[in-house]
Amino acid sequence: MRQPAVYVASKSIHGPQWRALRDAGLNIISMWIDESGEGQTVDWAALWDRCIAETKRADVLLLLHEPHETPKGSLVEMGAALAKGLPIFYVGSPDLLSALKHRNVRTFNTLPEAIAAIATLRDELRA
């Protein structure tokens, strides 16, 4: 049974949190988290090509928006996930975007709840 491939989308400030979760065993495939510090991205066009390609390889998109944040780049990743038909696990205000009403989007109150739900995808991946 394989771990679901998780693409994470959020503000870059959350990069350290995502790296810690990856180190703890969550199969995060988002490489942007390794260059999420200010000034670390040299080629933005190449970064976006990678982000979209990685989203398309994922089994699930985990999208995080804290209350004080404005979604920007994560909306591109969300669009790529929706185009592929991926499940999207969203943590944040359920009233933020009308796209959250899409049938592939599940909303969660906390990140631990969303991560626990990702574990349930393993059974679907076996089929």
Check which CATH number belongs to the domain holding 26 and give it: 3.40.50.450
Reported pTM: 0.91
pLDDT, average across residues 2-11: 93
DSSP for 4-67? PPEEEES-GGGHHHHHHHHHTT--B--GGGGG-STT--S-HHHHHHHHHHHHHH-SEEEEE--T
What is the extent of the structural domain holding 21? 6-126
Domain annotation covers residue 107? yes
Does residue 1 belong to any structural domain of this protein? Answer: no
* Digit-coded pLDDT (tens) for 49-104: 999 999 999 999 999 999 888 888 899 999 999 999 999 999 998 777 788 888 99
Tell whether 17 is covered by a domain: yes
Does 30 map to a domain?
yes
Q: Which two tokens stand for residue 106?
A: 């599940």
Q: Give the number of domains in the chain.
A: 1
Q: Where does the pLDDT of residue 36 fall: very low under 50, low under 70, confident under 90, or very high at 90 and above?
A: confident
Kindly state the DSSP code that residue 116 receives in the 8-state scheme: H
Contact 106, 90 (CB under 8 A): yes
